[in-house]
Amino acid sequence: MATINTSLLSPNIILGSLISRSPSKSISAFPTPPLCSPLHYSCLTRNTQLPGVASISYPPVDMEYLESEFSGHGVTFTEVNESCVVRMALENGSIANLMLPSGLITSYKAQMWHGGTMELLHTTVSEGQNGSPVIEGGVSLACNCENDQGFSWSPSSWALHQVKGDPQGSIQVELICTSSDGKIEAKYMVTLQEDLLTSEIKIFNLGMASFRMTGSVLSHLTVSTPEASYAVGLQGSDFFSNPPFLANFSIVPPAFGKTKNQPSKKSFGEIFSSWGTKNQNPEKIAEKELEGEETDNYKHLTDEMSKIYRSAPRNFTLIDRGRRNSVVVGRDGFKEVYLLSPGSRHESYGRYSYICVGQAALLQPIIIESQSEWRGKQSLHNPNM
C-alpha cells in the first residue's frame, strides 16, 4: 500500500477505509502550462457528470524547477508520493497547504485569539482500489466551459505561474491552465493573509465565440458535528433542495438522501438533464423547482441537507459550538451559494464532521463573451484572532 505524509496535508486529517473510487495517478507540478483534460459538466442540457478524483492522470513532478524558480516568499515545496505540496506560511502562524497540479487546498491553519492555531478545513485520505491514497475534501475548484457547438473544457491540471508576497504580510500562489486549442485561459490565485484565505478564479475567453461556465469553488469546513453547527445570515434567501454536487474532491456519505423526505443521490448533471432540453426555457423550469425562502437566520445544520441558495448575502457565518469556532464565508462574482450538511447521525470529529460550502454557478451558468474576462472569488475569514 502506498503511504502519504498526512502532516503535510492537514493536522487533523481523517484517515478513511477502502473506498470504491479508482486510485489517483501521479500528482505533479510543471515547468510550463500543461494541456488540460476535458471534464464534462453541463447545466440543464446534457446528462453528464464530473469525474472522480482518480480519473485524471498527470505527468511527473519537477521539484527541481519549482524550488529553483519559486522558493522564498514564505513558500516551500515538498514531494509526497509523486505529488507536490506547496506550503504557505506567515509569521503570525497561519499556514495553508496546496497540492499541485490538482489545485486542491488541503489545509488552512488559522491563528486564534488564545495564541494557538486551529485547522479550518476538513480533508480525508482513503485507500484506493490498488492501495494508492485518495484525497478528498479541502477547498477545490470544479468548473466547466462549453458552448452550443459541442465544445467542453475544464481546468483540471494546473501549473505554478508565480508566487508573490512575503511571510510578514500575505502570500499569493498563482496557478494557470490553458485549453488545448488556446482559446480559454484560466488562472487560479490562492492568497493567504493573517486572518483570511481566498480562492480566486479568472477565466479569459480568447476565442471568437461566447461560452457558458458552470461550477463552484467548494470548501469542506471541519466541525465537531453538524448538530453543533449553524449558518447565520441566510434568512430571506430563495433556495432549491437538490442532490449533492459530485465533484472531484467531494465528500458525500454513501447513504445520503436515503432518509425520509430526502432526494435520491444523483449528480447535478442528471438532475439538469431531467429538467428538459435546449428547446425549453431554463428559467421557467427553475421556477417550478423553487422550494422556498429561508426563514431561519440562525439555521441549524443538524439534518441532512443539500441546497442552492439564490439572492444570498455576499457574506454569512458558519458557527461550530462544539469547537467554539466560527468562519465568515464570502463571495464575489458568483451569484449562488451551495450548502451541504451530511447530518448528525455520524460519529463526532469523524469522516463526516464537516459542512460543505460552495460559491457557485449551478442553476444559472455564467456567460463569458468573446475577448472578455470573468472573475469569481471565495473568501474564508477567521474572525477569532
**Is the whole-model pTM more than 0.85?**
no
Dihedral sign for Cα atoms in the order 93, 126, 259, 285: positive
On the question of pLDDT at 59 being above 50, the answer is: yes
Dihedral sign for Cα atoms in the order 194, 173, 87, 165: negative
Task: Spell out where 81-179 has E strands.
Answer: 83-89, 95-100, 105-111, 117-119, 123-127, 133-137, 139-146, 152-153, 159-165, 171-178
Dihedral sign for Cα atoms in the order 210, 200, 88, 95: negative
pLDDT digits (tens, 9 = 90+) for 331-378: 999 999 999 999 999 999 999 999 999 999 999 999 999 999 999 999
Q: What percent of the chain has pLDDT over 70?
A: 76
DSSP symbols for 194-242 = TTEEEEEEEEEE-SSS-EEEEEEEEEEEE-S-GGGEEEES-TT-EEEE-
- Picking from 36, 27, 34, 249, the residue whose alpha carbon sits closest to that of residue 153 is 36
Q: How far apart are the first and last CA of the chain?
A: 41
Q: Give the type of residue at 96.
A: A
Confidence at residue 80, expressed as pLDDT on a 0 to 100 scale: 82
- Sketch out the chain's domains with CATH numbers: 6-381 (2.70.98.10)
On the question of pLDDT at 284 being above 50, the answer is: no
